Structure 1
């Protein structure tokens, strides 16, 4: 008799199912905790356990959010801050990553400019905001540049560190086959350093938002930062919460975009 070959269980499918179940459970707990916190917050305000004037209340936050959305001011503020953040984040990521790779490709440039990059990274970007706004005005350009300055050095250092951390045995192997440095760069360095670049992008999502909002705080007529600043000066805490929550959702969306980029970028790595 010939033994029949029974199909082996699909381990990958089981593992994927377990991961989906874990994510759903975590999401359920997260939503439950948020709902519980909102109910507890509103109840404490209604029972006068906390001062709603100083803390706001979920009911009034929702009412103000609906009113601001229907008036068109909230969508406009979200779109302005989104454009400033995305442009600054993209510019900082592209320029910073390119400079980091340049430091690896030409080590002399790293020795010359790396100390300046570290010093610039240590400067609080809010100290540069008045200079940038004076030089470039109160429009879109200054907010994009602030987001750019907040992200470019992080991207540079991450790309350079990632390129340096790669196993040199792969590079020596290609050199043994006669590969040029630029070929090693495209085959080994760029795909191999992607995890460092993606991690820098995760950090820079928040940094770009901070840069854009700082610019809107100092000099702007629109944007979520401007709305929060004005509402804070008028002690409209519920409107401040609307701006903070909108910024949180914007950061969450941008972080999700980075996660999608990571999924497709890392999948294309040769190892």
Structure 2
């Protein structure tokens, strides 16, 4: 428990011993969680390494961590690896931005006009169920080998974005909206003063889902048509039977995913602090 008491012209904050013990226990628990995560990763890498060394698995097919590090260092010295990583990262960021923009505008349109929502809802369901990989050849013909990657990324993530943001809008308390309407507020005022600020947690949750979906779309697009990027490296490594190249590319994809989720988490913390400060 935190207590603030007057001290001269300022305030002095005191905490109870029980609350201090609770905070220390939470910090110990958080450190234990991180240690368990690192131990799990280290155990997996060690098991993989020794399984390849002791011939439990064929290292030509599965590679091993020591070979991955050697391959990573060689490719990094050449400079091509970070070029492909940059291409995939750039395509993913653009895909996320475009998907969130289109999805947010469409969700606002559906909230603004219930008629449009009811008319287009069946099409949203069909497009969401449609296997997006089938659109790859169409995007390649329409957009070319470079922009088709962006088309695939947006196609995979935008429908889910629309559905999630629209669902978030529907969960907003109708009482607040009715109260503003009774005071003569327009829909634009209700949108800017109530709906969008209250939907920030839903937007962050949608962004988290969007990171994974967009990255999947980018890799699928690179599989089909790209001449650069981590997806291209994976296909190329499989064709020439260089499993080290495939595994290094997959490891970089994992690191890219962690970095993107980290950025979203930072954005979420900033949004929470700003929300609580304004509240």
- Flag whether TM exceeds 0.5 (same fold): yes
Instruction: Quote how far apart the aligned CAs of 1:264 are.
Output: 1.9
CA apart distance, 1:175: 2.5
Q: Does 1:143 align with 2:149?
A: yes
The separation in 1 between residues aligned to 2:135 and 2:20, in whole angstroms, is 52
Residue 19 of structure 1 and its aligned partner are, at CA, apart by 4.5
Would you tell me which structure has more strand in proportion to its own residues?
2
CA 1:150/1:182 → structure 2, altered by over 3 Å: closer, same or farther? same
Give the 3 Å change call, closer, same or farther, for CA 15–107 of structure 1 in structure 2: farther
CA-CA distance at 1:178 after TM superposition: 2.9
Superposition deviation, residue 21 in structure 1: 3.8
Residue 233 of structure 1 corresponds to 239
Structure 2 unaligned runs (5+)? 7-11
Q: Which residue number in structure 2 is paired with residue 119 of structure 1?
A: 126
Higher normalized contact order (CA 8 Å, seq sep 6+, divided by chain length): 1
Tell me which residue corresponds to 2:255: 249
Matches within 5 A, 1:114-263: 114-139=121-146, 141-263=147-269
Task: Work out the CA distance in 2 between the residues paired with 1:262 and 1:20.
Answer: 21
Which stretch shows the higher mean deviation, 32-41 or 70-79? 32-41
Is the 2:84–2:229 Cα contact (8 Å) retained in structure 1? yes
Change (3 A) 1:174 1:235: same
Taking only aligned residues, the RMSD between alpha carbons, in angstroms, comes to: 2.2
* In 1: Cα distance, 2:202 partner to 2:19 partner: 27
Cα deviation for residue 13 of structure 1 reads 7.7
Query: Under a length normalisation based on structure 1, what TM-score does the superposition of the two structures give?
Result: 0.91
Q: Deviations over 1:110-158 (max 9, x none)?
A: 112122122111111111111101111111x211121111111111111
Deviates more, 1:97-106 or 1:166-175: 166-175
Q: What runs of 5+ residues in structure 1 fail to find an aligned partner?
A: none
Name the counterpart of 1:63: 70
Tell me what 1:86 maps to: 93
Partner Cα separation in structure 2 for residue 210 and residue 15 of structure 1: 41
Q: Tell me how far 1:7 sits from its aligned partner.
A: 5.8
- Distance in 2 between the 1:147 and 1:214 partners? 8
Deviates more, 1:16-25 or 1:147-156: 16-25
Secondary structure of the 2:145 match is coil
1:100 aligned to 2:112? no
Query: How does the TM-score come out when normalised to structure 2?
Result: 0.89
Work out whether residues 149 and 225 of structure 2, in 8 Å CA contact, stay in contact via their aligned partners in 1.
no
| Alpha-carbon distance in 2 for matches of 1:122, 1:149 | 12
Distance 1:22 1:53, change over 3 A: same
Given candidates 44, 49, 55, the residue that maps to 2:56 is 49
Q: 2:124 is paired with a residue of what secondary structure?
A: helix
